Amino acid sequence: MLFAGLAGGGWWWLNLEPALISGRVSLSGDETGAVEIRVFRREDLSTAWRELLAAAEVRAAELGELSGEALARYREAWLAHDEAARVCAVGEEYNMPDLPELRAERDAKQAGEVAAMEELKRLSAEKQGLVTLQGLLDVLPAPLQTVMADAQGIFALPPPEGTGVGVVLVAVSPSGSDGVIPLCGWFGILEPEADGRLPGTVELSSEDRLEVDAIRRFVAGNERGE
């Protein structure tokens, strides 16, 4: 009787254990290899990304002003090079005695134009790269949990404890070839169901790609308490 009671109690206790959250990250194209699933509190993730986006917006405004100034300098450099090139062409046509000086002036103006264009490109590249996938990941706090999915993106996650309103899964996978390993990322929000439990299954697909616009919507929604 005692043994049966203990056995029954063990069965009852085991069935109280929360079920694993099963899931899959859909891989496509050249996205291959195991996927790492990181689990975060929704509010922690939102705070980290909000600060990153705010800093990026400030720097983007600064770069906008710098780009405007750099564009003006480039136009001046282009006009100077164009004029020097035309003068040099006349000198070459008539074989003027100061032709070496004209060519040197043309080449110097051309170098100035190239330098001005490189500065424009540098500022543009910095603005475009203000918020990247790697940048989004670098600002994250320590995850509550981390599990690995297999090559098909299938994973099993123990239900996180003490997660508050909801949790966010961030999935990251290296991809690419020729020694270049860009990151691909996905993220999904697990909202508690009516009985307070988290969903037992989650699917991350191409619609859940970790992109800046999606992050902005997530942060804005979290600020409104959605």
Please state which of the ranges 12-26, 60-74, 148-162, 182-196 shows the lowest mean pLDDT.
Answer: 12-26
Burial 55-83 (b: 16+ CB within 10 A, else e): ebeeeeeebeebbeebeebbeebbebbee
Average pLDDT over residues 72-98: 96
Average pLDDT of the segment spanning 99-117: 97
**Helix (H) or strand (E) segment spanning residue 155:** strand 154-157
Q: Which of 150, 154, 147, 146 is nearest to 24 (CA)?
A: 154
Last residue of a domain, one of 103, 128, 153: 128
- For residue 209, being part of any structural domain is answered with yes
pLDDT in tens, 52-62: 999 999 999 99
Residue closest to 155 by CA, chosen among 146, 147, 166: 147
Domain count, the chain: 2
Both structure tokens of 133: 């996938």
Name which of 42-51, 76-85, 153-162 the model is least confident about: 153-162
Predicted confidence band of residue 224 (pLDDT cuts 50, 70, 90): low
Residue 168 class from Cβ within 10 Å (0-12 exposed, 13-18 middle, 19+ buried)? Answer: buried
Do 155 and 195 share a domain, yes or no?
A: yes
Q: Looking at residues 76-100, what average pLDDT do you find?
A: 96
**Within a domain: residue 8?**
no
Phi, psi of 196 (to 5 degrees): 90, -10
Task: Specify whether 146 is located in the same domain as 201.
Answer: yes
State pLDDT tens for residues 180-189: 556 788 899 8
The parent domain of residue 86 ranges over 59-128
> Is 103 inside any structural domain?
yes
Q: Are residues 123 and 150 in the same domain?
A: no
Average pLDDT, the chain: 83
Round to whole Å and give the CA distance between 113 and 162.
59
**Residue 174 maps to a domain:** yes
pLDDT, one tens digit per residue, over 13-37 is 445 566 788 988 887 655 556 788 8
* Residue-level pLDDT at 151: 81
Query: What is the model's pTM?
Result: 0.75
